[in-house]
Copies of this chain bind each other. A is one copy, B any other.
Amino acid sequence: MKPETPLTQYIKSKKRLVDGYLKQILSRRDGTPKLLQETMRYSALSGGKRLRPILALAAYQAVGGRGKIILPAACALELLHAFSLVHDDLPCMDDDDLRRGKPTLHKVYGPGLAVLAGDALHNLAFQLLAVTGNLQVLQEVASAIGAKGMIGGQVADLQAEGRKVSLEEVEYIHQHKTAALIRASVRVGGILGQASASQLRALTVYGENVGLAFQVTDDILNLEGKEKELGKKIGSDKLKKKATYPKAVGIRKSKRMATELTQTAKGAIRIFPNFGRLTQIADLLLQRIK
């Protein structure tokens, strides 16, 4: 076992906070059909790093945010991530059998319920964002995951499958499919924490670069990682002829890019003394391929 550091303790405590809140709202007896709630819990409470909410919480604290208004927003970001995975795993999309080491939702409940569970998670996220009372935050997130954001990226991903792709195409897909929501997560923390304009600009650059670095390392792990850690089949991207960085530029260059993106992310927030936790998180994500 790895020794506990202040950073791992921090991540653990934030994870506990997020998991507790998610568990609570997904246990409410509010008239949701039992089976639907079960599918939503299966998707949202099956582990996961909770990267997006942790980034939102860390950004919020970095700019001096106080109080708990960030928690529903942070959990909304995780639900949106869960929604995207459930739909992405469907037989008519990526057709994945394994997610976080467990059978994917449609494998257990069938694809019809998986479509509806994804829809319900998507919708619940907006209900949580509305709890913040902050329309700017809601618009920020809606734009990041919408037709010109995450969902648009998934369409491009679907279209690229099986084809030879350029670096530009891979970048477009990953910027939209993955980085847009991560960027929004960091910005939501900043906005709700009442970041100054210059803080928010720095957080934006950080979020964009960490978001992209995260996807590059994920692509690399899909080739070189361990199935137990990844929670899905090693080499599944290659098998499905997905557009990935290693496919476009090779593994060595992909590693260099991940390092450079992480450097840029850290550089953007260097001038803010309270942003140390965000720097550590960026390093931790890169560590996965070291």
Q: Which residues of A contact B (CB under 8 A)?
A: 30-33, 35-37, 40, 87, 90-93, 110-116, 118-120, 122-124, 126-127, 130, 133, 135, 138-139, 142-143, 145-148, 151-152, 154-156, 158-159
Cα of A40 to Cα of B113 in the assembled complex, Å: 23
* Cβ A32 vs Cβ B116 within 8 A: no
Q: CA of A130 to CA of B142 in the docked complex: distance in angstroms?
A: 9
* Apart from A120-B146, A126-B126, 9 more pairs, CB < 8 Å: A33-B159, A35-B155, A36-B155, A93-B115, A119-B122, A124-B146, A127-B142, A130-B142, A135-B135
CB closest chain-B residue, reference A87: B115
Q: Which residues from B are CB-within-8-Å of A87?
A: 115-116, 119
Do A110 and B92 have beta carbons less than 8 Å apart? yes
- Evaluate whether A130 and B120 lie within 8 angstroms (CB atoms) in the complex, with A40-B147, A152-B31 already known: no
Kindly identify which residue among B36, B111, B113, B123 contacts A122, using a CB–CB cutoff of 8 Å.
Answer: B123
Give chain B residues whose Cβ lies under 8 Å from the Cβ of A90. Answer: 112, 115
Q: Are A112 and B138 in contact (CB under 8 A)?
A: no
Closest to A159 in B: B35
For residue A168, give the distance in angstroms from its CB to the closest CB of chain B.
14
Contact A37 B119 (CB under 8 A): no
In the complex the two chains form, is A120's CB within 8 Å of B147's CB? yes
Residues of B within 8 A of A93 (CB): 112, 115
Let me know if A123 and B139 touch, CB within 8 A. no
Indicate which residue in B33, B139, B159 contacts A156 across the interface (CB closer than 8 Å): B33
